Amino acid sequence: MGFFGGLKNLAKKSLEKMENFNAEVENEQMKMYDFSIEQLEREANRGSFAHKTAARKILKEYGYYQD
């Protein structure tokens, strides 16, 4: 395995990690869609990064969160 083969493997692992993270965020969003705005604001500051991201995405959809 040469230099470019190593880069290819690294890119593949990064892509898999990103896909897993996106799936985790979607799963968290499904759990939170019935939360109130106050609950979402609280959840946006606690838990795992995927949990926070999911809450912030929902708040952004509702127009309550700005990047």
Secondary structure letter of residue 36 according to DSSP: -
- Classify residue 57: in a domain, yes or no: yes
15 is written with which tokens? 């892509």
- Classify residue 15: in a domain, yes or no: no
Domains contained in the chain, number: 1
- Classify residue 8: in a domain, yes or no: no
Which pLDDT score is estimated for 67?
64
Structural domain range at position 62: 21-67
| pLDDT bracket for residue 53 (50, 70, 90) | very high
14 is written with which tokens? 């990064």
54 alpha carbon, distance to own chain's centre: 6
* pTM of the full structure: 0.79
Reference 23, options 11, 34, 15, 33; nearest CA is: 15
- Classify residue 29: in a domain, yes or no: yes
Give percent of the chain above pLDDT 90: 78
49 is written with which tokens? 């990064």
